[in-house]
Amino acid sequence: MAGARPARASSEPTEPSPDEVISIVVIGDSVPFNSPDDCPGCTSFADSYAEAVEAATEESVAVENRSRHDGARTADIEEQLASGELNELLRAADIVIISTGLNDGPPYEGSRPCAAESLATDEELFAAVIATTTECVDEVTAEVRASVANVLNFVRTEAPEAAIGVLTAYNAWTGWENLDAAGPATVDEFSEVITYTLDQWRTALCEEAAAVDAVCVDVYGEFNGPDGQQLSGELLAPDYTHPSQLGNDRIRDLLIASDLYDLGSGAPSTSTDSTDG
């Protein structure tokens, strides 16, 4: 990894050269996107983390947020990278933040195992999730793991000296008012499948992150507790999917605490895991 950046020769205000600008590139699903339709008036964790890096390093920070608000799954991010459209940004990146996996969980559709025939109503959605077996989850997780391994290897190849942080997916189902209205039996069965899926995904994602010397940032553990059963509650915006301002701030704090980018020396950290479990 790169060493600490040299101190500036003078305290006089100067225009930063390209080498003095710390570049943060954000890719993945809509968790970092921070659409005003999802969280009106919110400051994204990407921007507030950039402010923290700037304050600690006393260097200018630029954020390129190329996350997507289109239901992107991990395979879609893999295709986006393969297109080459992000190569230039990644090659100049000092920090890369990746969020993926939230859209890869059940209910499964299309050719995936345990796929639902219809999800036209909440009742059909609940039934499809409850009918998803652990075998189906394991099969899909293995498939998504292969995609995220390709994503991480691509990013590491294009940005060999960058600090890479990967966010685990969290539970945005438990506590949703429509699910609660279905009754405690449905909630329990539904939540069991979702928790199992997220547990398997966290393990897979963090292992793949470690393989490329990336930091696994455990948003799941922060939002849902050590057993995955804690309600995300106020950490989610009114749509009960994307982070609220409180949720964005928690993710920012996790990024800081993870030592993704050593804010003492101003260099990528060598730490590879910030998970709680």
CA 87 to CA 125: how far, in whole Å?
A: 38
3-state helix, strand, coil in the chain (%, to 5): 45, 10, 45
- DSSP secondary structure code for residue 6 in this structure: P
Query: What pLDDT does 18 receive?
Result: 52
Hey, where are the domains in the chain? 21-105+144-172+201-268
Query: What pLDDT does 229 receive?
Result: 87
Q: What is the mean pLDDT of each run of 10 residues along the chain (277 residues)?
A: 31 50 97 96 97 94 97 97 97 98 96 94 97 98 98 98 98 95 97 98 98 97 93 95 98 94 58 41
Query: What pLDDT does 163 receive?
Result: 97
Place of tokens 């600690």: 56
- What's the token pair of residue 186? 């449905």
Phi-psi sector, 64: left (phi>0), alpha (psi -120 to 50), beta: beta
> Which runs of consecutive H residues, i.e. helices, occur in the chain?
45-57, 74-82, 87-91, 122-130, 134-158, 177-180, 184-211, 219-224, 245-257
CA 66 to CA 59: how far, in whole Å?
A: 22
Strands of 163-167's sheet in order across: 61-67, 22-28, 95-99, 163-167, 215-217
Q: Which residues of 184-211 are buried (b: 16+ CB within 10 A; e: fewer)?
A: eebbeebbebbbbbbbbbbbbbbebbee
Query: What pLDDT does 5 receive?
Result: 28
CATH of 21-105+144-172+201-268, one of 3.40.50.1110, 3.40.190.10, 3.90.1150.10, 1.10.20.10: 3.40.50.1110
DSSP class per residue in 107-165: SP-TTSTT--S--SSHHHHHHHHHT--HHHHHHHHHHHHHHHHHHHHHHHHH-TTSEEE
Query: What pLDDT does 277 receive?
Result: 37
Query: What pLDDT does 1 receive?
Result: 33
Q: Which residues 6+ apart lie within 8 Å of 183 measured at CB?
A: none
CB of 210 within 8 A of CB of 268? no
CB of 166 within 8 A of CB of 217? yes
CA 208 to CA 82: how far, in whole Å?
A: 18
Cis-peptide into 6, omega within 30 deg: no
